[in-house]
Amino acid sequence: MSTSPDLKRQRQERAGAPAGRRRPGGRGRRWFLLAGAAACLVAVGLVAAKHWWNRRVAQEEIPAPQARAPSPAGQKPTGPGPSASPTPAGAPASRATAEELRDEAFATVRQLIADYPQNANAVSLMGTLHFGFKDTEEAEKWWYKALELDPNGVGNHMVLATAAAIRGDLDTADRLWRRAQALAPDRPGVYRGHAAVLLKAGKADEAVAALQKELALSPADPRCLALLGKAHLQRKDYEKAVENYRRALEAGPVDAETRLGLATACARLGRNDEADASMREFEAMRARQREAQARERQNTYWDLSLSTGVLVLALGDAGQTYAECGNPRRAEACWRRAADVDPANRGCRYHLAELYAAAGRHEDALGVCRELQAIRPAGADDERALGLLLVRLQQFDAAEAAFTRAIERDPKHPAPYRCLVQLLLTRGRRLPEARARAETLVALEPSAPNCLLLGQACRRAGDLPAARAALERALQLEPDNENVKEAYRALQEGK
């Protein structure tokens, strides 16, 4: 699954989970097969952000190459459970009714709660299911139960704030968003969601301030930019509204309201041609939304698609909880079932591959990697996560190729450059390329760690003045960074 997020983001608010284990993840919002119906899934997607997207984690440090000891002839690697035969990519899911899939989703989570009744995430997931099936009132009851178990659960504050805003309780939504910000001021989404509530309350100035904080965390978030355009439109600052609406359109997919806002701002400025063009786009998007709503009312396949998506979400998150609570057998069963239900699902396969790799089940892990590659062309985040997995499997040539593909798919994303440079330096290969990639990385993200990486690449390439300059820049950015100080001291001493 694809998402935007830093690979080193730690898992969040996991009650009862042992620390130390990382896993690659993926977004679980590619559930639905009807592209035209996507606009009707906003409610489900908002909550899925907590239970899938926000928990995607991958290990970014590149370990040194090691020789892998072969397994004795005829002996399978030991692991957390019996080796499961990977589901072939593209294989048809089991034929089940929407009601059966819905019942399975609830049964999965009921069993999870029975196994771990004090686990806040398990309890919260039951709320997610109810919300996904459009029972907001019941969903809120479960989320508040999760807060009783973990009062500092940021994600539960966020989804409760979203639910409160949906039913029009803006005061409660405002209070919950502010609490989430106090608990996790650097978490993407905490200011954007609050800004949407502030705009509904007519507090455009406060919304602008919140969105500025959000953009500091996620500079290219199209939803944030669109909200900023809306805030400036409310303030009657039409030039800034147009500017930010255009930035939103350039950054990625937007909703129909963004097109309408741009048309309105352009009309206020007398730019009638652009206003008319944007209004035509708005009307076309609204027409597609109406068609999707009609299909939802008339086509039973919609119910099957929705139930399938929610079941995959439940299985994926239940698997993560089982893994974190030390039950890898149940985790594997959940993720394999998710792969059976949705043969095109990437997120559950990332989890499976990491689970197998950690247990030394290399053949199973490589089999899942082949499934991932066969499903469909991957995005930059997918390729990067795959590359990190291949590093763990010591498939270094394949990892280099995956990082390179990630760069090709998104040349402005710094993380794949960092991974590739680390791997090339660790292996001592293609050092001129490592330096060139590090220079691009620093241009995209001039942080102290990236400057340190550039310094290391320059030193390995034999350019000591350039290495010194890179490390001095890193020291300017973070004077107290011990890694940078140690590298600079070693360079000065000629070590």
Q: pLDDT digit string (tens) for 358-375?
A: 888 888 888 888 788 788
Helix (H) / strand (E) containing 291: helix 272-298
CA-nearest of 162, 169, 166, 115 to 143 is: 162
- In terms of Cβ atoms closer than 10 Å to its own Cβ (0-12, 13-18, 19+), residue 159 is buried
The number of angstroms, rounded, from the C-alpha of 451 to the middle of its chain's C-alpha atoms is: 26
Instruction: Report pLDDT for 294.
Output: 77
Pull the structure tokens for residue 114. Answer: 């029975």
For 483, list phi and psi in degrees, rounded to 5: -65, -40
Whole-model pTM? 0.66
Separation CA 317–CA 113 (nearest Å): 12
Both structure tokens of 186: 């650097």
Averages of pLDDT over runs of 10 residues in the chain (495 residues) are: 34 34 34 32 35 36 38 32 36 68 96 97 95 92 96 94 94 97 94 96 96 91 95 96 95 91 96 95 92 69 81 95 95 95 89 89 83 77 82 88 92 92 91 93 91 91 89 88 86 74
The per-residue pLDDT for 77 is: 32
The predicted pLDDT at position 300 comes to 53
Q: What is the pLDDT of residue 484?
A: 84
If one counts every other C-beta atom within 10 angstroms of the C-beta of residue 280, the result is 12
Q: What is the rounded distance in angstroms from the CA atom of residue 369 to the CA atom of residue 384?
A: 13
How far apart CA 374 and CA 349 sit, in angstroms, is 12
User: If we measure between CA atoms, which residue out of 274, 219, 283 comes closest to residue 252?
Assistant: 219
* pLDDT tens string 44-55: 333 333 333 334
pLDDT at 23: 36
Q: Which of 336, 301, 355 lies closest to 108, judged by CA?
A: 336
Distance CA 438, CA 456 (A): 9
Non-local (6+) Cβ contacts of 369 within 8 A are 353, 386, 389, 390, 393
Phi/psi at 19 (5° precision): -85, 165
CA angle 458/463/465 to nearest 5° reads 100
Q: Supply the pLDDT for residue 107.
A: 97
* Residue that is written with structure tokens 């989570």 in the block: 109
Structure confidence at residue 375 (pLDDT): 80
Which domains are assigned to the chain?
Answer: 1-52+87-343 (1.25.40.10), 344-492 (1.25.40.10)
Per-residue three-class SS string for 225-240 = HHHHHHHHHHCCCHHH
Instruction: Report residue 323 CA to chain centroid gap.
Output: 19
By three-state DSSP, how is residue 297 classified?
Answer: helix
C-alpha to C-alpha distance for 389 and 384, rounded to whole angstroms: 9
In the prediction, which pLDDT does 378 show?
67
Which CA distances in Å does 297 have to 102, 113, 285, 286, 301? 18, 33, 19, 17, 10
Whole-angstrom Cα distance, residue 48 to residue 197? 19
Q: Going by C-beta distance under 8 Å and a sequence separation of 6 or more, which residues neighbour residue 299?
A: none
CA 354 to chain centre: 17
What is the pLDDT, as a whole number, of residue 140?
96
The conformation of residue 80, written as its DSSP 8-state character, comes to S
Instruction: List b or e across 184-215, with b for residues whose CB sees 16 or more CB atoms inside 10 angstroms.
Output: beebbbbbbbbbbbbbeeebbebbbebbebbb
Vertex 372, ends 50 and 68: CA angle to 5°? 105
Tokens in use for 189?
């989404």
- The 8-class DSSP code of residue 151 comes to T
The whole-number pLDDT of residue 302 equals: 61
Tokens 């030039």 belong to residue:
239
Q: Token pair of 389, please?
A: 């997995």
